[in-house]
Amino acid sequence: MITETIKGFKLYFESNSDCFSPKYIDNGTLAMLAFVDFSATDKVLDLGCGYGVVGILAAKFSTPQNIFLTDVNKMAIQYAKRNAKLNNVEGVNIIQSDAYKNLDETGFNLILSNPPYHTDFSVAKTFIEKGFNRLLIGGRFYMVTKRKEWYKNKFISIFGGVKIHEKDGYYIFEAEKRDFKYYKSKS
């Protein structure tokens, strides 16, 4: 059993060796969460949720029905469901999905992800490119990795800009979906 207090909430997680970071909450995830402010009205997607840390924390701030957790790993999904119950947020939506394939929801205020970044960039590429269209105007996408340049360039190419935070050897990318309307200048 993993016990961790995050943003004032004492949380409990069960996991096993088939899940990412099974013995403790990943430091990258904790670094990312340090830069995220949740609100009571947020609609949140925990993309690649693992055993549910980010989504379960988000549900402590918002209505559990507005929180969506997805992961391709069947075992991670089973543990996310257990952990939602363990932390009294049973109303969250937990969906086994390869990225967005089994998720019809849109209109997110927040998408958060700690993707597999020690492989090629194909997973992160899909997460970022397809995530843009799932956000509301003003919605933010947070992603944490240990690599900088490729992610910075990808976020800029899709979102038009990105803030990069550094914490504990991790880069946390924060991109906002803006309304890209063009206005004629008065002359």
Please give the pLDDT value at position 180: 58
Residue 1 contacts residue 14 (beta carbons within 8 Å): yes
Please give the pLDDT value at position 186: 47
Topology of the domain covering 2-176:
Rossmann fold (3.40.50)
Please give the pLDDT value at position 127: 85
10-residue block means of pLDDT along the chain (187 residues)?
78 76 77 93 92 92 92 90 93 90 90 78 82 92 90 90 93 87 44
Please give the pLDDT value at position 81: 95
Please give the pLDDT value at position 162: 93
DSSP string, 53-83: HHHHHHHHHS-GGGEEEEES-HHHHHHHHHH
C-alpha 100/C-alpha 74 separation (Å) is: 15
Task: Give me the residue spans of the domains in the chain.
Answer: 2-176
Please give the pLDDT value at position 95: 92
